[in-house]
Chains A and B, each alone.
Chain A
Amino acid sequence: MRDTFVRTLLEIAKKDKNVYIVTGDLGFGVLKPFWTELPNQIINAGIAEQNMTSIAAGLAMQGKIVYTYSIGNFPTLRCIEQIRNDCAYHNANVKVVCVGGGFVYGSLGMSHHATEDIAIMRALPDVTVLAPGDLVEAEKATEAIYEKQGTCYLRLGRGGEKRIHDKLDGFTIGKAIKIQQGERVAIFSTGAIFDEVNEACEELKEQGIVPTVYTFPTVKPIDKDVILQCAGAHDCILTVEEHNLSGGFGSAVAEVLAENGGMAKLVRVALDDRYSCIVGSQKYLRKQYGIDAKAIAKKVKENW
């Protein structure tokens, strides 16, 4: 996903010399294509995320489109006030890019697990929050935030994600994407955990269970229309995210449901409000914390 991001942004930046990457000394190898082709449009701000974000705001206030780049919680939580005051309040054209949403850096430990970022970023007014679900969504999201004036957050996986969509026409910020029409249960997912949803659906299909599935590459603004349509036509909405329970994607869906009614009950698959302390790969941690394909399939069956 990060390679898709860099490749897509490189194409954009070749055509628009106002596009810059400011990295917090991360992206070894990954940023190389960009560095090789456009060395004058990339800046290493060092391991100093607060200054990195303010520098980006300063550049953006002068008309540049600046992508801050780092991993895990470093481009967000480490410098959240700079994003709030310097970027969002000034409507600065800064695109905060996180590589490693969720348990991507599983074995590196809790410090590197980004499991509250969606909640925290979505709490900021004037910040658009995107978490693409596969490589195709990542490409489209990278293009979409370039077009979108203002501060955006792009939460990526890392590497090894699949292309799940064959192709994607008419990608729009704020719009969910229908994967399949089913019945009874509607699964909504955001971010790279879409992969697990997909796997769960294959398993369920063999058992004759076909839920409706949407991905939500945008968490803010959330697609209220799809949520309400599904709430009226299903018994259960199941949200899936590689993120903490509090304030994240499931909470965003819950807010819409609570304010607008709807028939469906809400079930959230998420990290159950704790810090992850188990050591292991992304796949292993998803299983340990009950957010993998098996856990998703189980929740669907419980509510079928």
Chain B
Amino acid sequence: MGNLFVIIISSMLVSNVVLSQFLGICPFLGVSKKIETAAGMGAAVTFVITIASAITYPIYYFILEPAGLDYLETIAFILIIAALVQFIEMVLKKFMPALHASLGVYLPLITTNCAVLGVALNNVTDYAEESFGYGFACSVVRGLFTAIGFLIAIVIMASIRERCEYNDVPKSFQGTPIVLVTASLMAIAFCGFAGLV
């Protein structure tokens, strides 16, 4: 249990997926103009990363590893993730139209979100030697909280950007540069969590 708690804190705050691992930068910079869209993107990512880590870990553990095919992990995982995103979209459309309406537009974007693949790959390298039950729990918890870390970061970013919209930014820094400066300051703040674990 103590270990799981450490995983939660470290994946959510200490090694935040965006601000210290640099995964999922594109949506972080691109879809963070409004809080609502940022939250939608964050929720969709949470959904996909959690399910993806729950599926990729058993596949690695029971199929790739015993067959000695662990070098196929990249190609297998990216295909699983792509199929999974399509599948989730179909299921949502059919059974949860309301959720689909709010997440739908973000789902296709997630296939090429490197955070999903990154978490899946990190999970199998870090937990492949554990027993299945424990490794599985660790993978899912890490997936969920990494994604929540993404949600936190992108929503904070969007809030800051909304507040700064009418600020008098120097001309050269308008647009992407000021967003990157904001990201830099946020990353400094997140460095403060380093001592927690």
Task: Tell whether A and B belong to one assembly.
Answer: no
